Structure 1
Amino acid sequence: MRHRNGRAGGYIAILLALFCLPYFSLVTAAGKGIVSLENPSVKEFLTKVFYVDKRYRVSCVLDYVGREKGRQDLPRPAEITFPRTKGKVWINLRLKGGKPAIGWKEKVKGGDGRAYVYNLVPRSRYAYTVQDTGGRTIKSGVLYTGGTLRMCRVDGVRNVRDIGGWRTGDGRRIRYGKIYRGGELDGKHHVTEKGKQTMKKVLRIGVEVDLRKKKETKDRNRSVLGNKVAYYRYSTLSYRLPDRKKATYAKVFRRIFRSVEQEQPVYLHCVYGCDRTGTIAFLLEGLLGVNESDLAKEYELSSFYLPRTRDGAFSGYRELVQEIKTYPGDTLQDKITGYFHGLGFTDAQVKRFRDRMLTEAP
């Protein structure tokens, strides 16, 4: 395995052998008929890397970045084939056993004989039909999705993913569709009308939590997704949790807790969806019980959009973890729980949030 800057060396090779061990906590074995939603480089990173170095001297993610052409912050699509026909056809999918809103519907060219479907939920079963414009069913079937990580494709937006899927220390798993993280919707990259429809109708975003400074938002006071999406802005910091910002962080987490309780999926973002967003995501996922290695890997997934390694010069991730470890507790989850106690959250509130965010792992 290569060092992240591309230079091989005996000392580095030994470190990587020690700190980048095979790991399988996020991987589902793909059987016959199961569609993998993870792109190959991301899947390999999640499969092969397990961090045991608690001093954060080594990062492995850049060994996997740039292996494929094009954007790597996107999922693989599910492909549905059907007999070619003239005109347009409707592709309809619905999550089996799920709410009707958790589905996908789009009109495509019938002459193509295939359609590519994004933003499906991993480890799920979908029923699908292909119909012509007259309502005649051309094909129907069942589609099974594999993998665990749910990256999302939103036209005009970068670095979007669901925080669901990660295993926790008590054997449960974070639910999909509760909290999404990503880049800004109205800056350098601007969500398109198609992207807005994806966020509202597929991801079902009900609350936008904007972590940018006021000057970065150009005094925005409503969501670009429309009036039906509630908008809240809180100016937070990257990797730092100073006392002067304690009230702000408390407001951020209370808003997220309340939105989850009200069944309103949250879109959490700053500018690039890496640093300020990564700080909040780290604390939420750690509170839910994700282990330290997986927390680091979830943070480093943003490197498939912009380089953000846990040992990098542009990252304060190591300092964030070290600060959290000054709180009392036997485990990292205990220490993060202590941080939330300092923000004014009770054990009952934390337990209620965990129960709503976690499900039994298959």
Structure 2
Amino acid sequence: MKNLELGHQRRRLVMNGTYNVRDIGGYPTREGRYTQWGKFFRSDSIHQLPEESRKLLLQQGIGLIIDLRFPHEGSYQFHQELGIKYINISLHNPANLRTERPKSLLDLYCNIIDTKQESIYQIFQAIIAEQGKAILFHCKSGKDRTGIIAALLLDLVGVQHEIIAEDYALSATYLMPLLEQRRSSLAALHGIKDTTLLESRPETMLFFLNYLHEKYENAEGYLKKIGISKNEIELLKKEIIEGPQQNVYGREKNEPY
């Protein structure tokens, strides 16, 4: 985590009403390029943003919000006031945890990419359709459903697995103020006392990425499997990647990560 902590202040967007908003730009790829700053933001729920935070969101140039939650997790209409396009594509219903308890977070993530392929297809079609726009995708905590989509985007352009895992693990730091509240909610709403579902350990993401590569070859293979065309994948890569320049830590292109 040491490397990521050096640069996370630049990528984190601090706003009242939310805790886990961050830019996934500035990450180096295996080809020596970087993910684009200001293009993709991952977030926890933003349905309770006060007015000043809504303005800050607009200042980031967000043109599309993809809400991965189910309706019972909270609704909002401020996107209409700000002129931001909003799409709700529910990826996984947390209410199902009461009757369909996963053995682990890894089990949950693997199940999602295996059984929610139509929803993931729709999510990526929505991203592809909004070329040139900054996009924010979010769920309730910005950790699980959001983490899966972020991992697919980053793996698609060749960001190293260790970096993807470190980005995923940042949620543990950002969500720390909500830990007790999330524990109580997990127990009250879903009858679950095992708090490992609240964690975001880097090894969980590493195991998930291993599963993705073993079963689908990689994120590109997965997207092809669910129906994204080769041309659409190339368009998506261009949206994620920017030209070689300084990364999140202020290092030059030829310096080690």
Q: Percent identity?
A: 26
Give the secondary-structure state (helix, strand or coil) at the position aligned to 2:86.
strand
Structure 2 match to 1:309: 201
Distance change >3 Å, CA 294–CA 233, structure 1 → 2: same
1:254 aligns with 2:111: no
Considering fraction of residues, name the structure with more strand: 1
Q: How does 1:1-362 map to 2 (within 5 A)?
A: 42-43=5-6, 75=9, 149-186=10-47, 190-200=48-58, 202-218=59-75, 222-224=77-79, 226=81, 228-237=83-92, 239=109, 240-259=111-130, 261=131, 263-306=132-175, 307-311=199-203, 317-327=205-215, 329=217, 335-362=218-245
Structure 1's unaligned 5+ residue stretches are 1-19, 27-41, 47-73, 76-148, 330-334
Which amino acid is 1:288 matched to? V
Give 2:33's aligned amino acid: R
Give the whole-Å Cα distance in 1 for the aligned partners of 2:215 and 2:234.
19
Shift of 1:256: 1.4
The number of aligned residues is 206
Checking the alignment, whether the CA contact within 8 Å between 1:327 and 1:338 is kept in structure 2 is no
> Measured at CA, do residues 344 and 173 of structure 1 come closer, stay the same or move farther in structure 2, by a change above 3 Å?
same
- Contact 2:164 2:205 (C-alpha < 8 Å) held by counterparts: no
Distance 1:226 1:269 in 2: 19
When the two structures are superposed, what TM-score results if normalisation uses the length of structure 1?
A: 0.53
Task: Tell whether the 8 Å contact from 1:223 to 1:230 is kept in structure 2 after alignment.
Answer: no
RMSD: 2.3
Match of 2:137, SS? strand
Q: Comparing both chains, which one has the higher relative contact order based on Cα–Cα distances under 8 Å and sequence gaps of 6 or more?
A: 2
Letter in 2 for 1:180: F
Structure 1: distance between partners of 2:238 and 2:135: 17
**Cα distance between partner residues in 1 of 2:74 and 2:28:** 35
Distance 1:292 1:176 in 2: 19
The Cα of 1:297 is off from its aligned counterpart by: 0.5
> Rg: which structure is higher?
1
Cα distance, 1:211 vs structure 2: 0.6
Question: In structure 1, the residue corresponding to 2:239 is in which secondary structure?
Answer: helix
